[in-house]
Structure 1
Amino acid sequence: MTQIVPIAALLIGSALLLLAGGLQGLLLPLRGSFEGFSDSSLGLLGTGWAIGYIGGCLLTPVIVRRVGHIRAFGVFCSLASIVVLLNLVFMTPWAWIPLRALSGFCFAGAAMVVESWLNERASPETRGRIFGIYTMINLGATTAGQMLLTLGDPAGFLFFVVGAMVYSCALLPTALSTAAAPQPLSQVRLDIRSLWRNSPVAVIGVFLVGISNSAFGTLGAVYGRQVGLSVSSIATMMSVALLAGALIQIPIGVLSDRIDRRMVLIGIAVVGCLLGAALTFGGALSPIAIIALVGAFGGMIYSMYPVIVAHANDHSPPGEFLKTSGGLLLLFGIGSVVGPLLAALMMTMTRPQGLFAVTSGAHALIIAFSIWRMTQRAPVAPDEKEDFVAMASGVRFSTPETLALDPRAEDEEETSRDAA
C-alpha cells in the first residue's frame, strides 16, 4: 500500500481511460452493425484507430513539450469525450472513421502522459511491481468496459453518454494530483534494418500478429453479431478472449525461457491456426461452443506479442531494449492498419467466418517463416536470454512510455550508466 498510495490518482485515471476505451471499442462495431454499416466500413474503423494511435505515440512528446503534461492530458481526455458524442450525432461510417482515428490519437496521448508519470514515480525497487499492477488494472478496466454492454441496449444513446462521461472523469485524478510533473516523454525510432539484422522472425512475426490481433479486435464483435450471438454473449466472448490471453502468458513465458522461443511461437501459431480453422469450417456452432473456441483463440493470439518482443531482445545488443521494443511497437501498429481491411474484405466476399481465415493465414505465414529461420540460426542459450515479461497486448497497443515503465528498461539505464 505504501507503493500504491502515491500513484493512486494516476492508476485511477488510467483505469477510467481504459474503462471508456473498452466500452467504446466494442460499442462502435456493434452499433455500426445494427445501423447497417458494411463490413469494409467497420474494418476501416480499426484502421483509423491504428493510424491515430501511431500518430499519438509519435506526436504526443511534441505536444507535451509545448503545453505540459497536465494540460495535454486534459486536452486528450476532453477531445476523446467529444468524439464519443459526435459518434452519436453523426451516425454514418464516413464520419465515424476519421472520428475513430482522432479517438486513437487522444487515447495514445492520454495513456502516454499517465505512463510517463508512473515511470517517474517508479524506483528501481518498485518498477516491476508498479508495472504489474498497472497491467492488471488496464486488463480489468478494459474487461469491465466491455461487460458494461450487457447491462443495456447498444441501439440507444446511453452507452455513448456513459463513455463520454467516463473519459471526462479520467482527467480529474491527474488534474487534482499534487505529484510533480515527470521528465520529457520517450520517443521511438523505427529502424527496420537494425531490427531485421537482430531478428528477422521478430520483424515478420510482429507485423503479422498486428494483422491478426487487430482484425479480431475490430471485427470480432461484428462476427458475433452476424452469426446470431446476443449482445451479452458477444461481450462475454470478447472478454473471455482477453482474459485467456492474459492468463496463458504465465505458462508460455516459463516455457519460452527454457526452450527456443521460435518453437514456442510456432506452437502458439499452430494452435491458433487450428482454432481459426474450426471457427471457419465448423458449421453452425452453439453460442457456448463459439465462446469456448474464441476464448482459446484469444489465449493464443494475445500471447504471441510478448514472446516476439522477448525473442527480439534476446538478440539485441545490450542497452537497446527501448529501441528494439519501440521499433516492434510501430511495426505492430502498421500491421494493425492492414488487418481490419483484409478481414473486412474477406468477410464481405465470403461470410462472417472469413475473419478467421485471415487470422489463420497470418499464423500460417508465421509458422513457415519461423521454421525456415530455425534452419538459419541456432537458438539462444537459456542462460543468455532476457527475462520474459507478460504484456497486456490485447487491451490496446503499448506506447513508448509503457516500454519505459517495463522493469527491463531499468537494466538498460544501468547499462548506459556503466558504459559512461
Structure 2
Amino acid sequence: MRRNLLPVMALLLGTLFLFLGNGLHGLLLPVRGSAEGYSNEILGLLGTSWATGFVLGCFLAPKLVMRIGHVRAFSSFISLIAVIALMTGILVDQYWWVGLRALTGFCIAGTSMIIESWLNERATNESRGTIFSFYISITLIGVVGGQMLVGVVDPSTTILFMICGILYCLAMLPTTMSTAASPQPLKSVKLDLPSLYRNSPVSFVGILLIGIANGAYGTLGAVFGARAGLSPNMIAIMLSVTIFVGALMQFPAGKASDRTDRRYVLAALSAIAAVAALVLVLLQPHNHVVMIVFVTLYGAAANSLYPIAVAHANDFASSDEFVKVSGGLLLLFGIGTIIGPTIGGPVMTELGPYALFAVTAIAHVLLTGYAIYRSRLRAAVPVGDREHVPNIPVTASPMSTPESLTLDPRAAPLPPHEADQQANHPRASGEARP
C-alpha cells in the first residue's frame, strides 16, 4: 500500500487541505449569515450559486487547463479561492457572498479535476482501487475536520475566514512544489441524457431527487440548526455526524442491494429518510439530543442512496459506458443540488426551519413511489451479473467531477497499446517537470 501511495502523497496532502478549507468555508458562511440576519432565501442561494458554478466549471474549466497548463491553472484556481475566502470575511454582504460563492464553485471544480486527473495518471490498474479509496477517505476527513473547526472559534469574528485562506494556500504548496510529472490533458465526457433515461429510469429520476434533497439539507442544514437554537459547535457536530453515519451506512446498504433488487433498497432507504424527516416536521423537538438523533437517522438513510442509484444504472450499462453513464448522473445530481436550496429557502421562510425536512421528505416519498412502480415494470439484473456498489464520498456537497470517474476502479482499464503509450510518454518518466 505504501508503494502505491508514495507517488501521489503530495497530491493527497494538498487534497486534504483543500477539503479542510471547503468544509470550513461551506459551513461558516451559512452560520455567520444566519447570525447576521440574512434571509433563508439568500442563504439557500449560497448553495445554489455554488452548485451552479461547480457544474459550469466541469464543462468550462478543462478549456482553461488546456490553454495555460495544469500547474498554472491549479495555482490560479487556488489563489482565487483563497482570495474569495478572505473577501467574504471582509465584505460581510449577502449579495457579494452569493456572487463570490458561484466563483468558488467554479474554481473548486477546476482544482478537483486537476487533482483527480493527476491521481489517475499516476495510478496503475493494480493501484487504482487503493488510491481511489484513499482519495475518498481524504475528502471525507477533510470536510468533517473543516466543519468541526467552526465550533473552535467564534464565527462572528474574521479569524475563521483567515483560517480558510491559510488552508487553501497550504493546499497549493504540495502540488506546486512536487517534482511529479504533469498529467495528460483532461478528458471530456460526452453526455446523452435521453439514452441515460432509457438505460435506467429509476436512476435518472432518483439521482435528480436525491440531488434536490441532499442539496437542500447540505446547504440549509446549518441554517436549520441556527434557527432551531443550536450553537455553532452543535451545528458542526450535527452535520459531521450525518456525513459519518451516511458513510458507514453505505456498507450494509450496498451489500443488501447486491443481494436483492436495488430498487427495493432505494425505496426502503428513501422511506426511512422520509419518515425521519416527517417526524422532525411534526414533532419539532425542543430537546436537542432528540433532534440530532432523528437528523442522524435521516442522514444515515439519505446519504447512502446515491451510490446504490449509480450501481443500478451501471447494472444495465456495458462496461465501456461507465464513465458516460456516471457523468450523466453527476450532471443530474448537480441540477438537483441547484434546485434543492432554491426551493428550501422560501419554504423555510414561510413555514419555519423544520419545513426544510418537508422538502426533503417530499423528494424521498417520490423516490420511494417511483422505485416501487418501476420494479413492477422491469425485471432486476441477476445478482451474478451486477457491479458491486461503489463507496462514494458523502460530503456536504457530494458532487465530484468527470475526472474522478476515470480514477474509479470500476472504469474500463486502458487498452494495452494506450497504456504503453502513456507509460512511455516523456512526462510519465518524469522528464518534464512542472
Classify the TM-score, shorter chain: over 0.9
Structure 1 residue aligned with 2:212: 211
Superimposed CA distance per residue, residues 262-299 of structure 1 (whole angstroms, 9 cap, x where no aligned partner): 01100100000010011111133311112221112111
Structure 1 residue aligned with 2:238: 237
Matched, 1:308 2:309: yes
Shift of 1:414: 5.2
Shift of 1:415: 11
Structure 2 residue aligned with 1:291: 292
* d(CA) in 2 for partners of 1:382, 1:294: 33
Superimposed CA distance per residue, residues 96-118 of structure 1 (whole angstroms, 9 cap, x where no aligned partner): 11100001111111111111110
User: Residues 85 and 161 of structure 2 are in contact (CA less than 8 Å); yes or no, is this contact kept in structure 1?
Assistant: yes
Structure 1 residue aligned with 2:428: none
User: Residues 198 and 312 of structure 1 are in contact (CA less than 8 Å); yes or no, is this contact kept in structure 2?
Assistant: yes
User: Residues 319 and 412 of structure 2 are in contact (CA less than 8 Å); yes or no, is this contact kept in structure 1?
Assistant: no
Shift of 1:190: 3.0
Shift of 1:31: 0.4
Summarize the alignment of residues 21-420 of structure 1 with structure 2, pairs less than 5 Å apart.
21-395=22-396, 396-411=398-413, 413=414
The more displaced of 33-42 and 387-396 is 387-396
Matched residue type, 1:15 = L
User: Residues 319 and 416 of structure 1 are in contact (CA less than 8 Å); yes or no, is this contact kept in structure 2?
Assistant: no
* d(CA) in 1 for partners of 2:187, 2:26: 26
User: Residues 204 and 329 of structure 2 are in contact (CA less than 8 Å); yes or no, is this contact kept in structure 1?
Assistant: yes
Superimposed CA distance per residue, residues 211-233 of structure 1 (whole angstroms, 9 cap, x where no aligned partner): 00010000000000011111111
Shift of 1:375: 1.3
* d(CA) in 1 for partners of 2:306, 2:285: 31
Shift of 1:88: 1.7
* d(CA) in 1 for partners of 2:167, 2:140: 17
User: Residues 75 and 172 of structure 2 are in contact (CA less than 8 Å); yes or no, is this contact kept in structure 1?
Assistant: yes
Counterparts in 2 of 1:128 and 1:358: CA distance versus 1, 3 Å: same
Aligned residues: 417
Superimposed CA distance per residue, residues 286-316 of structure 1 (whole angstroms, 9 cap, x where no aligned partner): 1111222111211111111101100000011
User: Residues 76 and 110 of structure 1 are in contact (CA less than 8 Å); yes or no, is this contact kept in structure 2?
Assistant: yes
* d(CA) in 1 for partners of 2:342, 2:387: 35
User: Residues 112 and 402 of structure 1 are in contact (CA less than 8 Å); yes or no, is this contact kept in structure 2?
Assistant: yes
* d(CA) in 2 for partners of 1:85, 1:188: 34
TM-score by length of 1: 0.97
User: Residues 200 and 316 of structure 2 are in contact (CA less than 8 Å); yes or no, is this contact kept in structure 1?
Assistant: yes
Matched residue type, 1:152 = V
Shift of 1:318: 3.2
The more displaced of 166-175 and 387-396 is 387-396
User: Residues 124 and 410 of structure 1 are in contact (CA less than 8 Å); yes or no, is this contact kept in structure 2?
Assistant: no
Q: What percent of counterpart residues are identical?
A: 46
Matched residue type, 2:34 = S
Structure 1 residue runs of 5 or longer lacking an equivalent are: none
Shift of 1:398: 1.0
Shift of 1:400: 0.7
Structure 2 residue runs of 5 or longer lacking an equivalent are: 419-434
